Amino acid sequence: MEVIPAIDIRNGRCVRLEQGDYDRETVFGDDPVKMAVRWAALGAARIHVVDLDGARDGSQANSGIVQRIVQTVDSAIQCGGGIRDIPSLEHSIEQGVSRVVIGTAAVKDPGMLREAVAVARHQLIVSVDARDGLVSLEGWTESTDIPALSLIDRLEGLGIERIVYTDIMRDGVRGGPNFEMYESLTSRSSVKVLCAGGVSTLEDVRRLAECGVEGAIIGRALYTGEIDLSEALTISC
């Protein structure tokens, strides 16, 4: 299992939100590029970058910062937020991003999703963000009545190879991931699953590895020092 540090960018700064609430923001650094250098130096083979402005507003607002990250570190970069059409997806790949994450467009634009599968295939990740088991869109600001499990079944049928599943109520807060959901996802589907949200301790990392997820995306706990990245990487090997 991979341990993947998260860098969430808003207004050009490195931040974390609590439970997806844009009004509950903590700033952890003014320079996301320096943060990427820090995680890369500690051994991160992959870094998860989210353009929060893009996720909420529907267009990539921090692509220049993402490009500088790609050019500065050797770690593979997977990036999402505001990628709502094929030109944006192709632009991200051309920037050197190793994996592109789409969320809202995967639900609202089925045609774009089918084309994205054809264009990106193994480089494509669909972000499934759920609150109380129901999918949320538009940077978690729009609720739906779509069960997350139903969406994942549909994605598998379309040839999606990999998802990021985020339990929004556990994102940016302590308490641990939704282990039961991850065990269910890995046992019922061939889709590879990345966990995001609530990873707070090294024991959480151990339990996720036992759940069979492909990777654990960790944000706040790395920034506060509750998890030491070097130790987490050792556990995940």
Q: Which candidate, 205, 212, 207, 214, places its Cα nearest to that of 232? A: 205
SS3 for 149-211 is HHHHHHHHHCCCCEEEEEEHHHCCCCCCCCHHHHHHHHHHCCCEEEEECCCCCHHHHHHHHHH
Catalytic hit among 8, 51, 53, 171: 8
Catalytic hit among 51, 129, 167, 171: 129
Question: Is there a catalytic annotation at residue 145?
Answer: no
Would you call 78 exposed, middle or buried from its count of C-beta atoms within 10 A (0-12, 13-18, 19+)?
buried
Q: Which residue has the tokens 């024991």?
A: 203
Question: Is there a catalytic annotation at residue 129?
Answer: yes
Q: Which candidate, 93, 87, 208, 110, places its Cα nearest to that of 160? A: 110
Separation of alpha carbons 126 and 146, rounded Å: 15
Separation of alpha carbons 210 and 207, rounded Å: 5
By annotation, the residues acting in catalysis are 8, 129
